[in-house]
Amino acid sequence: MDSFAEPHKPLDTTISLEDVRAQVSKLETDLREKNIPLSGRIIHVCHYLPVTCAFSRRPRPSDIPSPPATPPAKASDIPPSPTAESQESALPAQQQSSQWQLHVRYGHSAMVSGIDSLAATHEQVFVGWTGDIEAGGAPPAGSQDASSGSESAKIPTASLAEEDKKELEGLLAGYRTRDEPKDGKPIHYVPVWLDDKEAHGHYDGYCKQTLWPLFHYLLWQDVATEYASADSHWAPYAAVNAAFAKRVAEVYRPGDLIWIHDYHLLLVPSLLRQALPEAAVGLFVHTPFPSSEVFRCLPRRKEILDGMLGANLVCFQTYSYSRHFTSSCVRVCGYEVTPRGGIDVQGHVTAIGYCPVGVDADRVAKDTLRPGIQPKLEALRALYEGKKIIVGRDKLDVVKGVVQKLRAFEKLLQDYPQWIGNVVLIQVTSPALSDSPKLERQVSEIVAHINGEYGSLDFIPVHHYHQTIKKDEFYALLSVADLGVITPLRDGMNTTSMEFVIAQERTKKSPLILSEFMGISSNMSQALQINPWNLREVAAAMHRGLTMSDDEKAHRHQQLYKTVTTHTSATWAEILAKQLLERLGSSNMARQTPFIPKGELERHYIKAKKRLFLFDYDGTLAPIVKVPSLAVPSKDTLKALEILASDPKNVVYIISGRDGEFLETHLGHIKNLGMSAEHGGFIRAPGEKTWRNFTESLDMSWMSEVLEIFKYYTERTTGSHIEVKKSSITWHYRSADPEWGLFQCHQCQDLLENNLARKRPIEVLVGKKNLEVRPIAVNKGEIVKRILYFNPDAEFVFCAGDDKTDEDMFRALLLFPQGPADQGPKHVTLDPPLSVTLLAGSKEEAEKYKPVELAIERDAIFTTAVGHSSKRTLAVWHVTTPEEVVEHMLHLVRDAVAEEQRASNL
């Protein structure tokens, strides 16, 4: 979608989970009726598995006996009291082995709960990295039991034997989470084994030092403590993505749906597209996606975009993120946007969508009823009795806006001094994945400044806790709040805001302040939305929230609660499945064009006594370039054409949209090469020197009218230009701003089709960054029919093209009726085409031409589209690039090439 498209539709909060599941079921039924294979499985590819793994090697006979390990020293002889958290982390005995222990991994709870909910209807495979393997005896670092400050010993992955890995894989095969439906279908957990150095170069390097800052509108040098290079960790990022793609290909079954999650794995879609061309692949990006002006700073921008565009569907949290991605594809890579808003890459169309993630509302609601919460809630009320409580909970990360929030709170106390002594801010900051001592020190200094300036012996305005708090404390804090303030500078989905709404349902129904730069802000319109950089606005919103009437609080809360409890993580996961199934049934994926078989091509070539070769030029023999005059044929292209044309059995034509002058300049020296210029407007037969004009007998007075319209749009579109040919006019906008040029192209096309084309014998063609108007009677298909008519004894046809105008050639070669080859006619008859009768000179001369019987057989016609296998085309075969067209030509004439090389060596 370009920037001038209509705005997105708001989130539908009326649709229920049951409704979406019914839609998914109906889609699957419809697809199976169309004989589209569906396995009923969904493969989720995530950076981490939802468990952490601890390993302690069991003694082996070959091990040297050693004295027993010294028992760990205890701080106290009094055993620690069991907490709800430790009970939750304990796993059933069948999910542990003599060597391996599995613990719940905390983080990405919304995504994992969404995947769990899909088990009610689909079998699933969860592919992810094991994470660092911890030494047995202590809870792994990723589990909630682990102390935030402790460093556990790690087991190098290279030290694990194959049988050790197999044992873990077997243990994971039987692993079940508490949230999986009891009567649901299984989720198979498949580990990806990574080299430790590559794994950390991928995650701690490229992901956290380059992509994470960039996607949150920070450049890498803004967050690095030393000299930063955006490319230093590219190699491990690419290697890890390749390892993930290989693992997915190993577990894939035909008919599986594949969903790849987040920015850690942006290259996997294109790698899977190469390995599994028929697979239905979706990519969901959980983070924000920056504007094209920020994204284009990334040195590996094209590799990242091409990696993402290997998917059939790329989905984001919000419409604006999807628009930024589309703009980046158009501006950075020069790809075209389809009428439905997809990205066209050599015929493979990637659909773009958005669907915000929710939380597991039922699970959060149950958590708010935990018995440990109420005592802590009462203690907080007693501690801050008579004061309003503002609550904030964020990671201590520069993008979370903690510094701006604290300064806004200070602004509240400045502008509304009546709150001094009557309001407290409880700010909890959990440690971020990458510690920032500078930011921690800055936050501490601001807190100390506010407390020193506005506090007293009996009043401390800001209470800052830099620690990971327990679940009971967290929900007690959310429940007791008079105002929630979540103001990141940039964020994708923030679960705390949704958990706040659910926690408030049973208490005060307090208002919520949200940053407008959050992915979920557009769906939570009843929150007080602010610009976190505008401290005065944030302070005013705090004052408004603290003084809001009970009726307004209840009304806003009701709307927010409905949004949060309707669009949950389960609904999100079902919608993703639905969207990918819709893509599976679309015309772009309904038929995959197979790659042209060299063996079949060669067999028919050798057998035929006469052969026709029909080539488009731009995009087929030469790559598309920004400046059309620079699209010159390569040495290999010229060599192949020269050898083909020199064989008396071959009739070779270039059928191009270029004018005759260009074709003669670059290809005119090749003997016995036929040419057709201006999309069939002119033809020069092999061995002839003069061009024959098909438009001489046609009414061409429309050209002046079209020229005036094109001049109007050229004046208003910087970088565009007009190309006037003898039989057509083309408006090019390849050098214009891509989004503005596309918008102007649509406007001009609409004007031509709805006004001029209705009363003139013309047709309007949308090409690659151009708009062409030509006579209806003239097209490449008519030229192909003419060549066939005058060469009825041809027993082999190879026709290659890459764009919409070449579909006319493929259509002309649909000579045989559809159906099994053994049931149809062996040969067909061709009536005199318009391209023959137009040049007859008179009606009497035209009537002399009679139908001819063609010698060609169905299997000897090789119509070949240049582009992706999912490209919509009438061609039977495909190749991916112009270089492959030339390679196939050279393959056919390799004996002649070898003979030429032998002669040159003598």
Give the residue-averaged pLDDT of 702-709. Answer: 93
867: left (phi over 0), alpha (psi -120 to 50) or beta: left
Beta carbons of 618 and 794 less than 8 angstroms apart: no
Highest mean pLDDT: which range of 108-112, 237-241, 358-362, 452-456? 237-241
85 occurs within a structural domain: no
Q: What 3-state class would DSSP assign to 259?
A: strand
CA distance 696 to 874: 31
**Listed residues 311, 339, 354: the one ending a domain:** 354
Q: What 3-state class would DSSP assign to 598?
A: helix
Question: What pLDDT, on a 0 to 100 scale, did the predictor assign at position 1?
Answer: 40
Question: What pLDDT, on a 0 to 100 scale, did the predictor assign at position 82?
Answer: 40
584 occurs within a structural domain: no
Nearest Cα residue to 280 out of 488, 588, 541: 588
Q: Among 12-21, 595-604, 871-880, which is the least confidently predicted range? A: 12-21
CA distance 608 to 30: 44
- Cα end-to-end span (Å), the chain: 60
Q: Token pair for residue 383?
A: 């501690």
95 occurs within a structural domain: no
Beta carbons of 733 and 324 less than 8 angstroms apart: no
Give the residue-averaged pLDDT of 745-751. Answer: 93
Query: Exposed/middle/buried for 81, CB within 10 Å: 0-12, 13-18, 19+?
Result: exposed
- Give yes or no: residues 223 and 292 share one domain: yes
Residue 333 pLDDT greater than 60, yes or no: yes
Q: In the structure, what pLDDT confidence band is assigned to residue 389 with cuts at 50, 70 and 90?
A: very high
Residue 216 pLDDT greater than 70, yes or no: yes
- Give yes or no: residues 707 and 654 share one domain: no
CA distance 787 to 373: 84
Q: Which residue has the higher pLDDT, 838 or 246?
A: 246
* Percent of all residues in the chain with a pLDDT value above 70, rounded to a whole number: 88
763 occurs within a structural domain: yes
- Give yes or no: residues 431 and 544 share one domain: yes
Strands 611-615 and 852-853: unpaired
Residue written as token pair 């800055």: 442
CA distance 192 to 129: 5
Q: In the structure, what pLDDT confidence band is assigned to residue 251 with cuts at 50, 70 and 90?
A: very high
Domain of 885, CATH number, reads 3.40.50.1000
State pLDDT tens for residues 624-646. Answer: 777 777 888 999 999 999 999 99
Question: What pLDDT, on a 0 to 100 scale, did the predictor assign at position 447?
Answer: 96
Residue 274 pLDDT greater than 60, yes or no: yes
CA distance 560 to 798: 62
Q: Token pair for residue 817?
A: 């009726």
The DSSP string of 162-181 is HHHHHHHHHHHHT---TTS-
Residue 269 pLDDT greater than 90, yes or no: yes
Alpha helices in 190-267 (DSSP H): 196-200, 212-215, 220-223, 234-251
Beta carbons of 401 and 437 less than 8 angstroms apart: no
- Give yes or no: residues 285 and 432 share one domain: no
- Give yes or no: residues 368 and 311 share one domain: no
In total, how many domains does the chain have?
A: 4
CA distance 728 to 712: 18
State pLDDT tens for residues 31-67. Answer: 888 888 899 999 999 999 999 998 887 655 554 455 4
Q: In the structure, what pLDDT confidence band is assigned to residue 533 with cuts at 50, 70 and 90?
A: very high
Strands 51-55 and 123-129: unpaired
Question: Residue 347 has what DSSP assignment?
Answer: T
Residue 147 pLDDT greater than 50, yes or no: no
Residue 84 pLDDT greater than 60, yes or no: no
Beta carbons of 317 and 311 less than 8 angstroms apart: no
CA distance 589 to 867: 14
721 occurs within a structural domain: yes
Give the residue-averaged pLDDT of 96-121. Answer: 86
Produce one character per residue of 569-595: b if its CB has 16 or more CB atoms within 10 Å, e if not.
Answer: bbbbbbbbbbbbbbbbebebbeeebee
Give the number of other CB atoms < 10 A from CB of residue 78: 7
CA distance 262 to 241: 12
Q: Residue 367 carries which side chain, given as an amino acid letter?
A: D
- Give yes or no: residues 209 and 291 share one domain: yes
168 occurs within a structural domain: no
State pLDDT tens for residues 604-627. Answer: 999 999 999 999 999 899 887 777
- Give yes or no: residues 526 and 396 share one domain: yes
Mean pLDDT of the chain: 86
Phi and psi at 776, nearest 5°, equal: -60, -35
Q: Token pair for residue 770?
A: 């151009």
Catalytic residues: 616
**Listed residues 726, 758, 775: the one ending a domain:** 775
- Give yes or no: residues 207 and 236 share one domain: yes
Q: In the structure, what pLDDT confidence band is assigned to residue 14 with cuts at 50, 70 and 90?
A: low
Give the residue-averaged pLDDT of 132-149. Answer: 60
State pLDDT tens for residues 834-893. Answer: 878 777 766 777 778 889 999 999 899 999 999 877 778 889 988 888 898 988 888 888
Instruction: Give the bridge partners for 428, in sequence order.
Output: 393, 465
CA distance 651 to 612: 5
Beta carbons of 705 and 764 less than 8 angstroms apart: no
pTM: 0.81
Beta carbons of 217 and 240 less than 8 angstroms apart: no
Residue 76 pLDDT greater than 70, yes or no: no
- Give yes or no: residues 818 and 851 share one domain: yes
Domain of 314, CATH number, reads 3.40.50.2000
813 occurs within a structural domain: yes
Q: Token pair for residue 183?
A: 């009567």
- Give yes or no: residues 218 and 322 share one domain: yes
- Give yes or no: residues 241 and 333 share one domain: yes
CA distance 455 to 528: 27
Q: Token pair for residue 903?
A: 């002669």
Residue written as token pair 């008919």: 255
CA distance 388 to 392: 13
**Listed residues 295, 327, 354: the one ending a domain:** 354
Q: Token pair for residue 760?
A: 């003139």
Nearest Cα residue to 179 out of 233, 113, 256, 253: 113
CA distance 804 to 809: 10
Domain of 738, CATH number, reads 3.90.1070.10
- Give yes or no: residues 690 and 705 share one domain: no
Contacts of 714 (CB under 8 A, 6+ apart): 720, 721, 722, 731
Give the residue-averaged pLDDT of 458-484. Answer: 93
Produce one character per residue of 297-323: b if its CB has 16 or more CB atoms within 10 Å, e if not.
Answer: ebebbebbbbbbbbbbbbbbbbbbbbb
Q: Token pair for residue 577?
A: 């499945």
Query: Exposed/middle/buried for 848, CB within 10 Å: 0-12, 13-18, 19+?
Result: exposed
State pLDDT tens for residues 654-665. Answer: 999 888 899 999
412 occurs within a structural domain: yes
CA distance 303 to 231: 12
Beta carbons of 233 and 205 less than 8 angstroms apart: yes
CA distance 619 to 769: 13
In terms of residue numbers, what domain contains 814?
598-694+778-902
Residue 669 pLDDT greater than 60, yes or no: yes
Q: In the structure, what pLDDT confidence band is assigned to residue 81 with cuts at 50, 70 and 90?
A: very low
Contacts of 451 (CB under 8 A, 6+ apart): 460, 461, 462
